[in-house]
Amino acid sequence: MSTPLHAVSAAPVGDFALRCSGLQRYLGQGDGRVHVLKGVSFEARRGQVYAIVGPSGCGKSTLLYLLGLLDQPDGGDIEINGQRMSNSDDFARTAARGAHIGFVFQFHFLMLEFTALENVMMPMRKLGRLTAPEMEARARMLLEAVGLGSKTHRLGTQLSGGEQQRVAVARALANQPSIILADEPTGNLDVKNSALVFDLLTRLAKDNGQAVILVTHNPEIAQRCDVTRPMRDGLFV
């Protein structure tokens, strides 16, 4: 049984999947405390691909983790699909991550004891919207879409770096989130694989009307995005 990519889509609320304003974030303690984000504001529309670029330490990744609700801001607001999340508790943020956000990290972050298929099914199992056969069918379809249809039963350790990142892309899309956040998704890949993963990410996201926000150092990748937002010293420039 094949499940369409949009089968578990969350209900869209307005044009913007994500909004933030005046985000403040300090890291470290005492003398080492650094003001990393100094009042950042940002919006992401559905179906658009955004690149956040800038030198190391300018606050790109910190911003991404705040937008992904993996971290809490010291000031400012974050809205996910019109819902204000900046002051919400851990339970609400976790639920929002599961339903609305997909992550792709630089170092793949696959769970290596599990097969590619199981890795992709993992977020669906937690969300519990689909039956077990539906989850498996969707996971197979996503792996097919990223070109790994023949390697569904391989463990993470039995896949190359590029293949692992493609599984990570499929996993990020598993619950049909409205926002895909990618932290240097091609940073650890060769040129060929970088292009492949970027094309996949943008094509699948655009097909499904998802907002893609990626942090990258790669100028070629940044140029191919719909919007590029350069950052410096904790602010967009």
Binding of residue 184 to another protein (CB under 8 A):
yes
Residues binding another protein: number (CB under 8 A): 33
Q: Looking at 10, 109, 209, 236, which residue binds another protein (CB under 8 A)?
A: 109
Taking the least distance from each CB to another protein, the nearer of 1 and 91 is 91
The set of residues, in sequence order, having a beta carbon less than 8 Å from that of 16 and lying 6+ positions away, is: 43, 44, 45, 46, 79, 82, 211
Nearest distance in Å: CB 18, another protein: 16
Q: How far is the CB of 79 from another protein (least distance, A)?
A: 19
Region for residue 39 given its phi and psi (left: phi exceeds 0; alpha: psi -120 to 50; beta: otherwise): left
CA dist 156 and 163 (Å) reads 9
Please name which of 165, 169, 154 lies closest in space to residue 190, comparing C-alpha atoms. 165
Asked if residue 103 binds another protein (CB under 8 A), the reply is yes
Paired tokens of 32: 């080492």
CB nearer to another protein: give 26 or 226: 26
The number of beta carbons lying within 10 Å of the beta carbon of residue 32 is 7
Is position 105 an interface residue for another protein (rule: CB under 8 A)? yes
User: Using CB under 8 A, which of the segments 3-11, 80-88, 105-113, 221-229 binds another protein?
Assistant: 105-113
Does residue 31 belong to the site contacting another protein (CB under 8 A)?
A: no
Shortest CB 177 distance to another protein, Å: 10
CA separation for the pair 196, 15 (Å, rounded): 28
- DSSP SS3 for 102: strand
Chain contacts with another protein (rule: CB under 8 A): 61-62, 65, 68, 70-72, 90-91, 94-95, 97-99, 101, 103, 105-107, 109-111, 113-114, 122-123, 125-127, 171, 175, 183-184
